[in-house]
Amino acid sequence: MKDHSQSVANTGKFIDPRVTAKGEPRARVALERLETLWFNTGTLCNIACVNCYIDSSPTNDALAYLTTAEVVTYLDELDSMDMRPREIGFTGGEPFMNPDMPEMLRAALARGYEVLLLTNAMRPMQRPSVQSALSTLNTEFPDQLTLRISLDHFTAGHHDEMRGAGAFAITLAGMDWLRDNGIAMTVAARSLWHETEAETRAGFAALYTERGYEIDANHPAKTVIFPEMDMSVEVPEITTACWGILGKNPSDIMCAAQRMVVKHKGRSPSVVACTLLPYEEAFDLGPTLEGAMGAVSLNHPHCAKFCVLGGASCSA
């Protein structure tokens, strides 16, 4: 697994959660609403992608499989809280590696939540038992389930650069099955190839038209283009003054509206502040949702590059 410590480029920064390296007050973000509760189903994946932010692979089980019972415990806790999320999200790793995935989906859907599942749509999703479960759930809970497909680029060459030879074709086969079975899809892409956003969206629009995918290439939540998280790039620390300088609102930052449940190998599940930082102890907020409702210090390069400056969000 990669070293998640601070890079040389940011040496001296992101140390004190209260102040920056220059002694200025560090920005903090309060949880204003719980729009999405994420469950990381485990870091095991059928492939190992270049620059995977969570280092998922066929051998990395640093985050262990969540069980249906553990998911239900948090759904029960939500029932007792004032903040009910609009959406339950499942991510990995590859969620369909987890044998409990269909039942975890059912547990969330049965409580009336919209459910978003992030997948590469490859072999784990294409198993007959999984496809049967997805078809059944989509019929029983219409308009509640969406699968977001990791499709790094609209061409095979660039996508396979990240995910291995032949990955593009296998993912498209999975997307074809979802299309033919009326299961809603969105796409997550990467901004790695020095194209303008307009060029990237035009490329995806052409692919969607060619394949008959009902996905809006120009909607930022339907075709999500994530900035790359390069720890070797120096980024500024975010101070309380930055909101006004940058014209940003802390309400729009991911940790103002989202939390994620993870299970580190050998430990019980806990709640973390950010989907991008599952390994950082400073962002682990404890075992309960009630205890994870406090403000978060933006004390990591990803906070600056990905969320504040990149404006990204893992949800819709």
In this model, does residue 316 exceed pLDDT 50?
no
In this model, does residue 309 exceed pLDDT 90?
no
Furthest CA-CA distance within the chain: 57
pLDDT (tens digit per residue) in 24-68: 999 999 999 999 999 999 999 999 999 888 999 999 999 999 999
Contact between residue 274 and residue 255 where contact means Cβ atoms under 8 Å apart = yes
Arithmetic mean of pLDDT, 216-222: 97
Arithmetic mean of pLDDT, 258-273: 98
Averaged confidence pLDDT in the chain: 93
Q: Check residues 254 and 314 and name the one with the higher pLDDT.
A: 254
Query: Which residues sit opposite 223 in a β-bridge?
Result: 187
Arithmetic mean of pLDDT, 206-221: 98
pLDDT at residue 48 in the model: 96
pLDDT at residue 3 in the model: 46
Q: Which of 59, 34, 43, 56 minimizes the C-alpha distance to 113?
A: 34
Q: What's the CATH number of domain 33-233+254-297, 3.20.20.70, 3.40.50.2300, 3.20.190.10, 3.40.50.1820?
A: 3.20.20.70
Residue 9 pLDDT class (50, 70, 90 cuts): low
pLDDT (tens digit per residue) in 66-122: 999 999 999 999 999 988 999 999 999 999 999 999 999 999 999 999 999 999 999
Residue 130 pLDDT class (50, 70, 90 cuts): very high
Residue 227 pLDDT class (50, 70, 90 cuts): confident
pLDDT at residue 231 in the model: 63
> Considering only 146-155, 184-193, 223-232, 287-296, which range has the smallest mean pLDDT?
223-232
Say if strands 223-226 and 258-262 run parallel, antiparallel, or are unpaired.
Answer: unpaired
Residue 282 pLDDT class (50, 70, 90 cuts): very high
Residue 315 pLDDT class (50, 70, 90 cuts): very low
Q: How many CB atoms lie within 10 A of CB 273?
A: 26
